[in-house]
Amino acid sequence: MYYVKNSDLRKEIMKCKENDELSKEAIEMLTLMAEKFSKKLHYMYPEDKEDCISFAIMDCIQYWKGYDPEISENAFAYFTQIIKNGFAKGWRKLYGNIPKSKKISVSSNKIYNI
pTM (two decimals):
0.81
pLDDT tens readout for residues 26-85: 999 999 999 999 998 888 888 999 999 999 999 999 999 999 999 999 999 999 999 999
At position 80, the amino acid (one-letter code) is: T
Please state, in angstroms and rounded to a whole number, the distance separating the CA atoms of residues 11 and 7.
Answer: 6
